[in-house]
Structure 1
Amino acid sequence: MKLVLFLLLGSILAAPSAHSHGGHDHGPGDEIMIPGSNKNGIEIYLYRDKSCGCCKKWGARMVEGGYKVVDNISNDINDLKISEGISSSLASCHTAFVEGYFIEGHVPGKSIDKLLRDMPDIAGLSVPGMPLGSPGMETSQMATQNYEVLAVDFDGKASVFDSY
């Protein structure tokens, strides 16, 4: 009986938490904090391609919302998405991590605030594609698009989390 309890406890402690992903440590490394970041804010780790300007703009919007955004240039952003279980149907140009959740694409700060307030048992949030008018994709020359923020469970199934 003691052996069964020991093994059960060990498997619970060794299992990944609901907010860890793929065994990756999305913490400090070769990175740059986006200027203006709240040094005491909740950390968002942004992974993007070097040439993607809208990703950097999205990070700046998160800074405006009080977050500390750590910018990581990645040469293998698609490999990161695959390792995190982010399917191509959910993908956008950048991937971020906050408090163990993935944030895929141009997710608004309000949705991230709601995520962190409610702490649902999901893998992360996604705004597939690059909808005009979403954070980092603002433009004065074109009409904005309505879009949805999707909650993605640990099996990759998506449901509507917010609509804009």
Structure 2
Amino acid sequence: MRLTEGDLPGLYLVESPVHADARGSFARAWCRDTFRAAGIDFDPVQANLSANTARHTLRGLHYQDPPYAEAKLVRCVAGRIWDVAVDLRPGPGYGRWQAVELSAERANALFLPEGLAHGFLTLTPGAVVLYHMGAAHVPGQARGIRWDDPDLAIAWPAPPEVMSEADRAWPGLAERT
């Protein structure tokens, strides 16, 4: 397993070598020792699966504010997604974003520290996303930012065709509470 720091501080691309033989394949999904060796203290307390029927389904951009902030390890376990992280931490990086394609075939993942919003667009029908969460979801604490906020100018690879009403209604970055 190899961790490469992204453009946003604390954001890591996680690459897991895929070992294949006649039986199929094997890849390590998470390793506490690897994360700790990189200086990341991440102990998942919850795991979530997001199954998405249609191509170009958009989910996000989601986050929880402190004291409920969530670090997360996001992995696509079926299909492919365009995964996006937006920095919401005070400082010069505020509002910057980074995106990466995650796929089941590549067995790659993205680690997001607390303070980043997260969203994705499915690139294939039947995309399934697995999240390992560093904090539990707290009902009533979900927050979001509009996916097409011009202040962010995220370069989505296609317009979304399916999304929730809640995701359509999030405020822009300038209006977030």
Say yes or no: TM over 0.5. Answer: no
Give the structure-1-normalised TM-score: 0.26
Greater strand share, 1 or 2? Answer: 2
Higher Rg: 1
Name the structure, 1 or 2, with higher relative contact order (CA <8 Å, separation 6+): 2
Give the structure-2-normalised TM-score: 0.24
Greater helix share, 1 or 2? Answer: 1
